[in-house]
Amino acid sequence: MSATLSLAVLVSGRGSNLQAIIDACRSGRLRAKILAVLSDRIEAEGLRRAEAAGIPTIALAPRGYPSRRAYDEALFARISSFAPELVVLAGFMRVLSAPVVEAWAGRMINIHPSLLPKYPGLQTHRRAIEAGDREHGASVHFVSAEVDAGPVIARVRVPILPGDDPETLAARLLPREHALLTATLALFAERRLEWRPAGIHLDGCILDRPLELGADDRWLPA
């Protein structure tokens, strides 16, 4: 059996994806340990959730740093002090500069609320509805310098229903995000995933398209 996966989680807000990781660790479904939760927003509810779970927190506001890069280097110096194996962006709302992203290449993932490569960036629910799409979803990808453009590991789909607005669609998607993130982290905990120059590898074989999580929380057959 493989060792416990150590994580640092970055949040900017509510922290429901963080809570899903905490709950999955507690229940034994995920062999991982969150070493620290960090946020760019002091008031983030995610920090309160971490405190309630006894996880060390760091709130570091960007204000006062002379540049985006200076802030990012300060933030990632704090992360490095915990020496996590993997950094998880879970509702982290600040674009990270290339040097820190490159230093953590293959060791940092993000959960994004769209079926990437569709709708990188913000307001994804509204954009999917306005485009007339019949389905939407979430993606977990390795973080690369270009925002939401790193290789996609896994996705989950939800229908877009007549009468949906961004709020109803987000509410349908959110529990599926939680399942996607924890199931993907379980693959890391089992040491089954790796980002090599040739692409993402699962069990040593190149992944030629993203994994897809089914409604029963199992991976669909390739």
Measure the CA–CA gap between 138 and 61, rounded to whole angstroms.
Answer: 28
Among the listed ranges 14-22, 55-63, 86-94, 177-185, the one in contact with ligand NHR (CB under 6 A) is 86-94
Give how far Cα 179 sits from Cα of 16, 139, 155, 164, 215, Å.
11, 11, 10, 22, 10
Q: Which does 104 bind (CB under 5 to 8 A by kind): ligand NHR, ligand GAR, none?
A: none
From the list 16-24, 51-59, 139-147, 199-207, the region that binds ligand NHR by CB under 6 A is 139-147
Least spacing, CB of residue 186 vs ligand NHR, in Å: 21
Tell me the two tokens of residue 9: 């989680």
Q: Are the CB atoms for 86 and 7 separated by under 8 Å?
A: yes
8 Å CB contact between 39 and 11: yes
Evaluate whether 158 touches 134 at the Cβ level (below 8 Å).
no
Residue 91's binding partner among ligand NHR, ligand GAR, none (Cβ under 5 to 8 angstroms by kind) is ligand GAR
**CA distance readout (Å), 216 to 53, 141, 176, 183:** 28, 21, 10, 11
Output helix, strand, coil percentages for the chain, rounded to the nearest 5: 30, 25, 40
Q: Fill in the per-residue mask, 32 to 71: x = in contact with ligand GAR (CB under 6 A), - = not in contact.
A: --------------x-------------------------
| Residue 141: Cβ within 10 Å count | 26
Select the residue interacting with ligand NHR from 72, 148, 164, 177 (CB under 6 A). 148
136 a catalytic residue? no
Q: Which uninterrupted H or E stretch holds 177?
A: helix 166-189
Q: Does 168 bind ligand GAR (CB under 6 A)?
A: no
Q: How many residues bind ligand GAR (CB under 6 A)?
A: 16
Instruction: Catalytic residue, from 112, 136, 141, 178: name it.
Output: 112
Nearest approach, Cβ of residue 101 and ligand GAR (Å) = 15
Q: Is residue 178 at the binding interface for ligand NHR, with CB under 6 A as the rule?
A: no
Binding region for ligand NHR (CB under 6 A) = 89, 92-96, 101, 110, 112, 121-122, 143, 145, 147-148, 150
Binding region for ligand GAR (CB under 6 A) = 11, 13-17, 46, 90-91, 93, 111-113, 138, 174, 177
